[in-house]
Structures are given as C-alpha cells and as structure tokens.
Amino acid sequence: MNGLLLDSHVFLWWAHQPDLLSKSLHEMLASADNEIVVSMASAWELTIKQSLGKLTVPGNMGETLAQHDIRLLPIELAHIEAIRQLPMHHGDPFDRLLIAQAQVEGLTIVSRDRWFDAYDVALIRA
C-alpha cells in the first residue's frame, strides 16, 4: 500500500470539489491500493484560515475524514526534529512540517504547491 499525504488544498478538493482533480489523480485517491493521509498540521492550518475568515470549510473535518476513509497523521517529535534537517527553500511552517512528515513516514505528498519540488520528497502534482 502506498501512503499519499494530501496537502491542505488537495484534501479540500478531494472531500468537497473532486471535479477539480484530474481523472488520474481521482482514480489514484479512490484506489484501495493507496492509503490517504492528512496531517494534523493541515487540520491546524485550515482551522487557522477559517478563524481568520480566509477560508470556509464545509462540514465537520472529523466526519469528512471518516467519510472518505482518510487517516489523520499526528505530529510526532520525530517529525519536528526532522524539520531541522531541511534546507530553507521555503518558509511556510505547515509545508515544511508536511515535508518532514513525508520523509519520516515514507509518504508521497500530493500538492499543487511548486515549493515542494525543491525538497527531497516523493511528490505527485495535483
């Protein structure tokens, strides 16, 4: 099984606007061969953006994760420590944590964000 770590925007698209995903990515996310994962960092980021009025997320995130059989990845000390080893190509703390988590956990990040290209991490372009 392959673990796919969804960036925040990809999680929102998969859960609420799947037509924004390419057919091939939609099939990949729907495949039983892949485990879909969302980081607690993404939940944190989305909650912050909601509280600032920058984003509206429909429904309850926990229910959405369960409905789509998405595993929530906790933030572990090993993930935080791995951030120290990352080059400073990008200053977004949420993206840097996703990169560290993907490296530590052996996951592939799914994102449209071009900053991920600068890092040594498996990546699928959304």
pLDDT at 93: 92
CB-based contact 5:98 (threshold 8 Å): yes
Please state which CATH number belongs to domain 2-125.
Answer: 3.40.50.1010
For β-strands 108-111 and 71-73, DSSP reports them as unpaired
- Residue 34 host element (H or E): strand 34-39
Amino acid, single-letter form, for residue 57: V
Mean pLDDT in the chain? 93
* pLDDT of residue 57 exceeding 90: no
User: Using an 8 Å Cβ cutoff, are 11 and 38 in contact?
Assistant: yes
Q: What is the pLDDT of residues 78-88, one digit of tens each?
A: 999 999 999 98
DSSP 84: T
Neighbour count for residue 19 (Cβ, 10 Å): 6
| pLDDT value of residue 86 | 94
pLDDT band at 90 (very low <50, low <70, confident <90, very high): confident
